[in-house]
Amino acid sequence: MQVFTKSRDDEIEFLSFIEKLDRIIESLKPYSNDVDLSDIEAIRKSFILKTEDFFREDRKLNIGIIGRVKAGKSSFLNTFLFGGQDVLPKAVTPKTATLTKIEYSSENSIEIEYYTASEWRALEENSKVDSQLGEYKVAKEIVEMVKQRNLNPYDYISKGTESIVFESYDSLMNELNQYVGENGKYTPLVKSAVLYVNKEELKEISIVDTPGLNDPIASRTDKTKQFIELCDVVFFLSKATGFLDTGDVDLLTAQLPHKGVKKLVLVCSRFDDGLRDTMWSRDSLAQAKEDTKKKLLNHADRILEEYKKNNYNANVAMIDQCKDVVFISSTAHNMSQKNPEDYTEQEKKVFKDLNLHNELNNEELEDIGNLKAIKAIFDEVVEQKEPTLVAKSSQFVPTAREELRNKLQSMEKIIEKRINRLRSSDREEIVNEKKAIAAQINGISASLESIFGELNVKIEQNKAEALRDLRSNNRLYSQINEKEGVETHFETCKKSTSKWFMPWTWGSSTREVYSYDERYYYLDASDALENIRNFVNDSADTIENTFNKVLDVASLKRQLLVAVVDNFDSSTDFYDPAYFKLLVERTLNSIELPVIKIDVTGVINSVSSQFSGEIRDSAMKASLKNVLSQVIGDLFDDISLRFADEVNAFKSKIEEIKKEFSDKLLKNINDEFSIVIEKYADKENEIERYKEFIGKIRRIDLA
């Protein structure tokens, strides 16, 4: 791979730009109480980070696998890189989402980075806060996980990083799961991990499975942001059943286009889930595939065009790349490589749903999986790594300069509004305007009461339906049906071989073997184990679907925006549709749908230790039925209680989000009014000072 050496011209250009940023920051410091200079300082820090990283001798092509929790990132990488083996554990909740980097090395090893002492202290402090909001809730869970594992966090924090060598993929999976798996012993203490594997195709590239920028742990979010700053190519995964929802669009449009990413591949993951939703109303599998893709493509086109229309500074080239959607299903691809008898329980369910018209075979599964398309794109990306990096190297200064220009323009607008307010209003008018705005926000709060009140009613209604389904599953899976078996018996009988005309044979005989079939009825112990697994899986699906039905993100977004528009005076300077939209989207992103995960390993082991194979004895049959009924009943009670707890936690979260939404609206406006009222005491001098500030900004030469 070409080593990108920093030329003398590069050094001069980069140093000149950094010095320009330093001069700008220094010249604006006298106004630091009026405007926030941290964004300019962040531009400087990011510029130095990106340029120093790019010109390292060991610089690789950085490929990011980005998507929200449950988008299927780990499944995608396991299928694509490791032939379907579960090397990378799946993170089903933000608390276990860890940034995991995969790179080539001749020696297989894992390098673990633990939280620092200061980061851990912050987690412990957040865990004490009585709140259901993301960072506090996750902090509680992480600290509790450490206690449950009887770990002293400072034994590991003091290590900083730790490297572990492994011999095989099996040992890798065991070790990696301990550090980044959901139930791993050391998972709650790990911030990131690097996986070094001896795979030739990984040479000169670095692949990262990111936890996403909506991670409630600040230090992990920072780590993810840092990586995206250095990213050259991104595969963005959005699951078919929530394709390009609000959270995805926010991440795609607000974060990636401005970070120097040169190629973006939009992947519709878990396509089998979207297809299964369509199958029942179509006459063939081919029709279902065509209609599902058409629906999702139309949705993507509409969402992306709407974004371009409403955002004048949108990176059009980057957004347009998203129109070439790639549909994949890691599950379907893995199934295409197996015989049906080797399917997992989940795969059997997928096969049943997709085979509604008896058309499904390995060829169709491979087509639904579509990993060949990803492989082709990946090969092209790797082949084009030199031109990609050359193009990126020429954009460092222009990209940072554009970020700086946007920030300075934003500062100028804020100060111009303050000048106009100081000139056109007296202090009493400003105070009255502040009160009027507060009244408008109170009107918004009243609308929010109604919107979120309806949401709570809806969750209670769907909770009742879900409990009925859980009871139905309880009755269904508590039963086990007898099967009919046939046993062939072999017996012998004595048969005379004497012949009357052959005296020497008189009294002789031989033994003959004959067989007969006997029918019997039995219970199969494996059916009981299957019932337990199916009950848990169906219950988890029922609960997940309950919350998905309650939270219609698109509808809720519209309702919140309407509440703002209907109650806010659009003639005021504080009427900022872009800010309101961003606030609504960030509010919705903070709503985390509950996930209930039930580990039945212990139950399965207990039942299988008592019963196995075919059970014919009447007493043993009765015993198996009783045990199954008891196990399913206990699981039902446990799941029902946890479901009720999650519903209550969800309602509490909604209540906090409602309050936080109003508070954020009010805080930003109150802060601005407070500054203006404070400046009013010496308004003429402040106006002159502000005019000097604007003059300084306008005299800045960004060329």
Nearest Cα to Cα of residue 330 among 290, 297, 374, 300: 374
Does the global pTM surpass 0.85? Answer: no
The DSSP bridge pattern shows strands 263-269 and 161-165 to be: unpaired
The tally of CA atoms less than 13 A away on the side-chain side of residue 530 is 14
How many other CB atoms sit within 10 Å of the CB of residue 420?
Answer: 12
Question: What HEC string does 129-140 produce?
Answer: CCCCCHHHHHHH
Categorize the per-residue pLDDT at 600 as very low, low, confident or very high, splitting at 50, 70 and 90: confident
Distance CA 304, CA 405 (A): 25
The whole-number pLDDT of residue 366 equals 93
Q: What is the DSSP letter of 242?
A: G
Backbone angles phi, psi at 518, to 5 degrees: -125, 125
Q: How much of the chain is helix, strand and coil, in % rounded to 5?
A: 65, 10, 25
CA dist 342 → 304, 345, 574 (Å): 41, 10, 62
In this prediction, residues 433-455 reach a mean pLDDT of 76
In this prediction, residues 18-37 reach a mean pLDDT of 87
Spans of all domains in the chain: 1-47, 82-120+136-212, 232-385, 426-481+523-690, 485-521
Which letter, b or e, does each residue of 306-324 get, where b requires 16 or more Cβ atoms within 10 Å of its Cβ? Answer: ebeeebeeebeebbebbee
Q: Which residue has the tokens 């209003």?
A: 425
The one-letter amino acid code at 173 reads M
Q: What is the DSSP letter of 93?
A: S
Q: What is the DSSP letter of 280?
A: T
The whole-number pLDDT of residue 268 equals 92
**C-alpha angle with apex 524: 522 to 529, nearest 5 degrees?**
150
Which residues make Cβ contacts (< 8 Å) with residue 697, sequence separation at least 6? 28, 408, 411, 412
CA dist 256 → 248, 261, 264, 324, 567 (Å): 11, 7, 9, 17, 33
CA dist 402 → 224, 358, 398 (Å): 23, 56, 6
Q: What is the DSSP string of 538-603?
A: HHHHHHHHHHHHH--HHHHHHHHHHHHHHHS-TTSTT--HHHHHHHHHHHHHT-PPP------HHH
Distance CA 237, CA 243 (A): 9
Distance CA 560, CA 577 (A): 12
Q: Which residue has the tokens 């009613």?
A: 457
- Give 460-475 pLDDT, tens digit per residue: 888 888 888 888 888 8
The DSSP bridge pattern shows strands 99-104 and 205-209 to be: antiparallel
Backbone angles phi, psi at 25, to 5 degrees: -60, -45
Nearest Cα to Cα of residue 238 among 380, 65, 364, 379: 65
Q: What is the DSSP letter of 251?
A: I
- Give 535-563 pLDDT, tens digit per residue: 888 888 888 778 777 776 667 777 777 77
Distance CA 641, CA 631 (A): 15
Paired tokens of 529:
């184990």
The whole-number pLDDT of residue 363 equals 93
Distance CA 90, CA 168 (A): 20
The one-letter amino acid code at 617 reads D
- Give 274-314 pLDDT, tens digit per residue: 898 888 888 899 999 999 999 999 988 888 887 777 665 55
Q: What is the DSSP string of 78-135?
A: HHHHHTT---SPP--SGGG--EEEEEE-SS-EEEEEEPPHHHHHHHHHHHTS---SHH
The alpha carbon dihedral of 81, 84, 87, 90 has a sign of positive
Is 667's pLDDT higher than 80? Answer: no
In this prediction, residues 632-648 reach a mean pLDDT of 87
Distance CA 629, CA 623 (A): 10
**601 or 669, which is more confident?**
601
Backbone angles phi, psi at 22, to 5 degrees: -60, -45
- Give 149-185 pLDDT, tens digit per residue: 899 988 988 888 898 888 776 777 777 878 887 778 8
Distance CA 341, CA 323 (A): 38
Q: Which residues pair with 516 in a beta bridge?
A: 489
The whole-number pLDDT of residue 116 equals 87
Coil, strand or helix at 634? helix
CB 216 within 8 A of CB 134: yes
Q: Quote the distance between the C-alpha of residue 82 and its chain's center.
A: 21
Categorize the per-residue pLDDT at 130 as very low, low, confident or very high, splitting at 50, 70 and 90: confident
Distance CA 179, CA 194 (A): 11
CB 671 within 8 A of CB 574: no
**Radius of gyration of the chain from Cα atoms?**
32
- Give 672-702 pLDDT, tens digit per residue: 667 766 777 777 888 888 899 899 888 888 7
In this prediction, residues 660-677 reach a mean pLDDT of 68
In this prediction, residues 448-452 reach a mean pLDDT of 81
Q: Which residues pair with 267 in a beta bridge?
A: 237, 326
Q: What is the phi-psi region of residue 215: left when phi exceeds 0, alpha when psi lies from -120 to 50, beta otherwise? A: beta
**C-alpha angle with apex 74: 70 to 75, nearest 5 degrees?**
85
Is 133's pLDDT higher than 70? Answer: no
Coil, strand or helix at 99? strand
Which letter, b or e, does each residue of 210-230 get, where b requires 16 or more Cβ atoms within 10 Å of its Cβ? Answer: bbbbbbbbebbbebbeebbbb
Q: What is the DSSP string of 22-67?
A: HHHHHHHGGGTTTS--HHHHHHHHHHHHHHHHHT-TT--EEEEEE-
Coil, strand or helix at 615? strand
Is 569's pLDDT higher than 80? Answer: no
Q: What is the DSSP string of 199-239?
A: -GGGTTEEEEE---TT-S-HHHHHHHHHHHHT-SEEEEEEE
Nearest Cα to Cα of residue 248 among 267, 232, 229: 267
Backbone angles phi, psi at 681, to 5 degrees: -60, -30
Q: Quote the distance between the C-alpha of residue 292 and its chain's center.
A: 22
Categorize the per-residue pLDDT at 257 as very low, low, confident or very high, splitting at 50, 70 and 90: low
